[in-house]
Structure 1
C-alpha cells in the first residue's frame, strides 16, 4: 500500500480541507482528491462522506484514519531504526545558484565535512535554468534555486523544502547617489538598474514594477553576482539585489541602501526526488539549517532582517 495515500488522508482529517491539505503537502488539490479516490478504490470503502457540506469521514473512514496513523508511525520508527547505526555516506550532487554561493554555500560544505564526513558533495554552480535541466537529467541530487520548478507541482515525485527568503534592497555607491532619502520609481528610472539575468524572476519583478507605471528605465542584466557588485561599487548604476550580499559594504560605507519602492523577496528552496538516500536527505536538511543560522547571525549583528529563514522540519 502506498503510504502517501495514508499520509494524505491523515493530513486531510487534521486540517479539514482539500486546499489546506494540498498546501501542506506541496501538491495540487486535484492530486489530493486523486490520492483519496485511489485509497478508496484500493480498500473498497468510502472514506469521505460526500453528502456533507463540511468535510466529514464515514464510520469506515474514521477507522481507517486510526489505522493509518498507526501504520505511518510504525513506518517512521522502522526507518529511524534502520538508519540509526549507519551514518549517511556517498556522493551527493548539489546544484546551487550564485545567490547561495554568495551567502551560505561555503558554511554548508564545511559543516558537511565536519558532521557528515562520509558524504562527498559535488558542487555545480549555474543559472536556475541550467540547474533545472541538470536535475531533470539526474545529474544533480539536490537542486537549490530561487525559481519555480513546475514538475514539483501536483506530484509526489519530489520533495520541496523551503530554505529562506532573501530581502531585496536598492543599493548604490555614495559616489553615484550621495543621499539616502526615499526615492520614487521616477527618480530610480533615471539611473541604470543592475539585476540578475534576463531569465530570472528578480529581473521580471523589476521590469513589471516599472511597466505598471509606464516607465522604461535601462535595466542591465548580469548572470554573475560578482559582476553586479563590482559595477555598483564603481558607480555604474543602482542595484536591486539581496541586502545579505552587501552587509559588509553597507557597514563600511562603500555602498548605501536607498529607501525606495518595496521589491519582492527571492524565495529559495531545496528540491530532491522522493525516495532520496539518507545522504541526500541530510544534505538538504543541513542546507535549511545553515541558511537559518546565517539569517540569525546577520540579524544579531545588524539588528535587521536580511533573510527570512524557513522553519526547520524533522523530515
Structure 2
C-alpha cells in the first residue's frame, strides 16, 4: 500500500468518479483505475460501488477513508514543518480575477517563484463566479476572487479591498446618471448587481448599465465617450494622469470590492495554504504602497 494509492483513493471518494479524479490529479483514467485496483487487491476488499452518477464508498471504503485522511493530514504537517521550500515540486493551478491580474499578480508570481523555485504555476484569469465554480469542482487549487466563498470546504484569507471610483469622458463635465450609460463589471458580478439596484433606486428605470468582462475595455469605453464608469481606482489613475479620462463625484460611492485568497481547506494542502499566505502578504504590501 502506497501513499499515491491512498491519495488517489481519497480523490476518487471526494470527486465521486474516476474521470473527475483523473482530471483533478492531472493523470490518466487508467492510471487512477490501476491504483484503486491495486489498493483493493492489497486490502482484499472492494472500496467502491458503481452507481449511475459515478462511484460511492462501500462500508470498508468508508472505514479506509477515515484512516487515509488522518495519514494524509500527517503527511501534510510533516511537509509543512520539515520540507525545504526549494525542494517542493508540484503543479499549482491558480485562478485570478482580472482586477488582481492587472494589479499585483506579477508581484505575487515573482514572490511565489522565489519561495518555490521548482513549482509549476498554471494561471487562469476569469470572472469570480466561474473561479468559484472551478475551485469547488477541484479544477483549481487556489483562487484570488471577489469573496469570500461560503462553503464548508473552503478556507478564505481576506485581502485588502479595491476602491472603486467614478470616471467620465474628459469632455463630459456634468454627467446625468439617469441618461448616461454606466460602464462597470460583468453582469454576473457582485458590483454589477449592487450598482443596478443603486441606480434604479436613485434614478429610476431610465438608468442604463453597460457591463464588460474586460476592465481595459471598460476604461476605453469611457475614454471614447460611450458613458461614465465605476471602475477600480488603482487602474484608472494612469489614464487620469494622461488626461484621457477624469474623475467626478455623483454624490455617492460604491462599496469597495472585497477579495479573498480562497482554497479547499479539507483535506489541507500545506503548499496551497502557504501560497495563499504569500498572496495575502503581497496584496497587503501592494495596498500599502498605493494608499499608505
Give the TM-score taking structure 2 as reference length.
0.67
User: Given the superposition, is the C-alpha separation of residues 80 and 119 from structure 1 closer, same or farther in structure 2, using an over 3 Å criterion?
Assistant: closer
Q: Name the counterpart of 1:111.
A: 111
User: Given the superposition, is the C-alpha separation of residues 85 and 206 from structure 1 closer, same or farther in structure 2, using an over 3 Å criterion?
Assistant: closer
Do structure 1's residue 264 and structure 2's residue 255 form an aligned pair? yes
CA displacement, residues 262-311 of structure 1 (integer Å, 9 cap, x when unaligned): 111110001111243332122111111111121122125xxxxxxxxxxx
User: Given the superposition, is the C-alpha separation of residues 100 and 190 from structure 1 closer, same or farther in structure 2, using an over 3 Å criterion?
Assistant: same
Q: In the TM superposition, what are the counterparts of 1:125-144 in structure 2 within 5 Å?
A: 125-144=125-144
Do structure 1's residue 178 and structure 2's residue 173 form an aligned pair? yes
Q: Name the counterpart of 1:34.
A: none
Do structure 1's residue 207 and structure 2's residue 196 form an aligned pair? yes
* Kept after mapping to 2: 8 A contact 1:168/1:240: yes
Q: In the TM superposition, what are the counterparts of 1:1-315 in structure 2 within 5 Å?
A: 81-83=81-83, 87-151=87-151, 155=152, 157-175=153-171, 177-178=172-173, 187-213=176-202, 215-216=204-205, 217-260=207-250, 261-274=252-265, 275-300=267-292
Decide which moves more: 223-232 or 270-279: 270-279
Paired residues, number: 214
Give the TM-score taking structure 1 as reference length.
0.62
Deviation at 1:214, TM superposition (A): 5.1
**SS at structure 1 position matched to 2:99:** helix
* Structure 2 unaligned residues grouped into runs of 5+: 1-76
Distance 1:117 1:197 in 2: 35
CA displacement, residues 101-126 of structure 1 (integer Å, 9 cap, x when unaligned): 11111221122222321221110111
* Kept after mapping to 2: 8 A contact 1:142/1:280: yes
**SS at structure 2 position matched to 1:188:** coil
CA displacement, residues 63-118 of structure 1 (integer Å, 9 cap, x when unaligned): xxxxxxxxxxxxxx977643457754311111111111111112211222223212
Distance 2:85 2:253 in 1: 49
State the Cα RMSD in Å.
2.3
